[in-house]
Homo-oligomer: A and B are copies of this chain.
Amino acid sequence: MARSTADGGPEFLSGTLEMLILRTLEAEELHGYGIARAIEAASGARLSIEEGSLYPALHRLEKRGDVRPEWKVSPTNRRARYYSLTQQGKKHLKKTTTAWLDVSAAVNRVLGLVPANQPTLGRAEAT
């Protein structure tokens, strides 16, 4: 998906790209190139979106019916394929986000980093 801008390799987060795309489109209708820039900006330049991952992901989402494409002219006066979220896409985003929070919280729990007040099977953590 996204790689950290820090290290050189693909790290973590296979599958997050689609979620991030959907989330970005929830905020505003955008074309692929713009989505990539928007995600990078929103991440505080910590993620970089490769086009070789981006476009296949967009086509998957389109085929799945989560986004709807439309050719338009961008503010820079170029032909660009603008994507908008479908109802299904919105639902999918909500579901996926919940799953992400759930799983990433589970990972943090295993790492022993749980930000307190999370009741986890009576596993008390020593300070």
* Interface, chain A (partner B; CB < 8 A): 2, 4, 6-7, 10-16, 19-20, 23-24, 27, 39, 41-44, 46-47, 97, 99-107, 109-113, 116-117, 120-121, 123, 125
Q: Are A47 and B106 in contact (CB under 8 A)?
A: yes
Chain B residues with CB under 8 A of A117 = 44
Among B47, B103, B112, which residue has its beta carbon within 8 angstroms of that of A11?
B103
In angstroms, how far is the closest chain B Cβ from the Cβ of A125?
Answer: 6
Q: Are A109 and B4 in contact (CB under 8 A)?
A: no
7 sampled A-B residue pairs with Cβ under 8 A = A10-B15, A16-B107, A19-B107, A20-B111, A23-B112, A43-B109, A44-B121
Query: A23-B111, A104-B104, A110-B20 in contact; A99/B44 too (CB < 8 A)?
Result: no
Q: Are B16 and A12 in contact (CB under 8 A)?
A: yes
Q: Are A15 and B20 in contact (CB under 8 A)?
A: no
> Contacts A4-B103, A12-B16, A97-B111 given; 8 further ones with Cβ under 8 A?
A12-B100, A12-B104, A13-B13, A20-B111, A23-B110, A27-B112, A44-B106, A100-B111
